[in-house]
Every structure is written in structure tokens, then in C-alpha cells.
Amino acid sequence: MKKVFPIINYILLALTGIFLIALQFKPWAWLFLVLGLLSLRLCQQKLARALFLIYLSLAILGLTPITTDISYRHMLQMGLALMLAVALPYFIARHIYKEKLIVFPWRLGRKWFKKEISYILLTAVIAYFLLPFYLINTGAYLNWSVEPGLSSIIRLFIGTNALGIWDELFFICTVLGLLKKFMDFKYANILQAVLFTSFLYELGFTSWGFVMIFLFAWLQGLIFHKTHSLAYVITIHLTLDFILFLALIWAHHPGWLTIFVV
């Protein structure tokens, strides 16, 4: 019976992420979150403490307007909330739990293998063909605003890249890092990918975008598990985000860039 309670909580965690962030069904979402928190009392203490940190971050995200608005006010508001969603669990784990449950292994001095460099190039090629096709055919590019002017372009660049870095800090290092301590990695990775996808779906990757986002999130978790290098998975993500940045400019203003073939 003891094994049932963690499974129930993992399901509630996934439902909380889907309903609170992706679908924005707030009444049901908060109900799932409260049920999840209450059910922690039935779990082993170490697991309960770890899952509490994830629920805490999801609650912060649930109270945060997650949009692609690049006004200075919104970027500051959303940026502070996202920083809190990463920093608060880390602070609690280190200074209240007195445990190193969350780590950020940059491994900057590690040399990359040829196959790892090749994977980055492959990511760029796939993104080059897939992202413009997706953005145009679904109309998802309209979820982003690309106004004329240097300030707007710079803020778009900062926003897309900052979110890419945050995704890896939170979903890979924090969520996956906590989950894989208590469940089989393959299931932990699926769960983090569900939460990862929920966030980016609400951010703007609507329609069938959730399919490619889930696959990307799952692969990022798998690669991090094998390399233990935060710097590497962030490089992969920023490579994709740079293509996204260019594709968004092209989709809104085709005359500005003529580098895509869609």
C-alpha cells in the first residue's frame, strides 16, 4: 500500500502542472495541488519534502502571468517570479532541509565529444526546418509580438534566451533532479517532460507544438542524465532558441530575413 501513495502523488503533480499552467483551469488545478500537498503526509518523509518543493514552485508559476509579452514591466514581473521558482526550492533544500537535493552541475571544464557537437548541429538543422513550418502553419507565431525597433528585437532576444536557460535550471536540474532520487529515471523524465511541456504550451507553443516540445524536453532530460552537464543542455537549448528568435522575426516580417525556405 505504501507504494500506491507516491504513484498517486506523481499523478496529482502531473495534473497540477497540466491544469494550472497549460490549460489554465485554475479551480481544478488548485484542487489537485491541495490534494497533492495533503497526500504528502502519506508518503515517506524524504519524498514528501522533495515533492513539496516542486508543488511550491508550481504554485508560484500558477500565480504568474506566463506570456510572451516583452514589455519592460512584464519581463521584470515574470522574470522575478521565475527566479523565485528556482531559488526558493534551492534555498529551502540547502538551508532548511540541510541537504543537497538540488545541484546545478555546469561542468564548464569538460571537453565535449564529437558526437555531442554533432548533436548540437543536428538540433540546429532540425529547428531550421521545423520551427518556421510550425509557426506559420499553426499561426503560433502570433503568440509572440515582434514590433519594429531595436529595443523590441533586443528584448525578444533576451526573453527567448533567458527562458531557455530557466527551463533547464528548473525542469531539468530542479524537477528532474528531485524526482530521479525517488523514482526510476525513465518515469521521472516523463514527468518532468509533462511539466516542461505544460509551461511552454501556455507560453505560446500551442496546437501540435506540445508534441515536439515533449520530445525535446524528454531528450533534454535524457542527455542531462548521460552527460551531467548543465552547460551542454543549455547550449542545445540556446541553439534552438536562436533559430526560434530568427524564425519569429521572419514570420512577422518576411522582408527582414530571407533565410528560411518554408
For the cut 90, the answer to whether the pLDDT of residue 224 exceeds it is yes
Using only C-alpha atoms, the chain has a radius of gyration, in whole angstroms, of 19
- State how many domains the chain has: 1
Condensed to tens digits (0 to 9), the pLDDT of residues 226-252 reads: 999 999 999 999 999 999 999 999 999
- Phi and psi at 78, nearest 5°, equal -70, -40
- What's the domain range around 195? 4-252
For the cut 60, the answer to whether the pLDDT of residue 157 exceeds it is yes
Condensed to tens digits (0 to 9), the pLDDT of residues 187-218 reads: 999 999 999 999 999 999 999 999 999 999 99
In a domain, 261, yes or no: no
* Per-residue pLDDT band at 1 (split at 50, 70, 90): low
Q: Pick 2 or 206 by higher pLDDT.
A: 206
Mean pLDDT of 183-190: 97
In a domain, 259, yes or no: no
In a domain, 260, yes or no: no
Q: For residue 111, what pLDDT is reported?
A: 87
In a domain, 149, yes or no: yes
Q: For residue 86, what pLDDT is reported?
A: 98
